[in-house]
Amino acid sequence: MTEKLTKHPLTEATFFILLSIAQKPKHGYAILKDVETLSGGRIKFSTGTLYGAISRLLEQQWIEQIENDQPPDTGRPRKDYALTMTGRSVLNAEIGRMENVLASAKRRFGEDIG
């Protein structure tokens, strides 16, 4: 099933959201800031855009919402998001695809690319 889900490359934004929560769950604002850092500042989400992407990833069951045990600073309950097994498979498949692309470029141009 993962092959069907990753037939096409992930968007850079989706890739970085999945990567952001790969090691530990995060709440939306932490994902927003982490994606900006991971992407070298190329991706700067508005909250609406981020939560639209999160909604889509929840529908695809690549991520799941989990309970956050820490009390929120704002007084509102905080929603954390974590990768599902499917999401982890999709992320790993995309990393493998990217490694293959880079390997092809290196075969073509040698190690001096980049």
Within a domain: 54: yes
Q: Looking at residue 74, which CATH number applies to its domain?
A: 1.10.10.10
Within a domain: 45: yes
- What's 22's DSSP letter? S
Within a domain: 6: no
How much is the pLDDT for 108? Answer: 87
> Global pTM?
0.84
Within a domain: 41: yes
Residue 47: which domain range? 11-109
Tokens of 65: 């919402």
- Residue with the larger pLDDT of the pair 78 and 100: 100
Reported confidence tier of residue 97, pLDDT bands at 50, 70, 90 = very high
Give the count of domains, the chain.
1
Within a domain: 114: no
Contact 93, 77 (CB under 8 A): no
Within a domain: 3: no
Query: Across all residues in the chain, what is the average pLDDT?
Result: 88
- Residue with the larger pLDDT of the pair 110 and 102: 102
Query: Distance of CA 74 to CAs 70, 77, 78, Å?
Result: 12, 8, 9
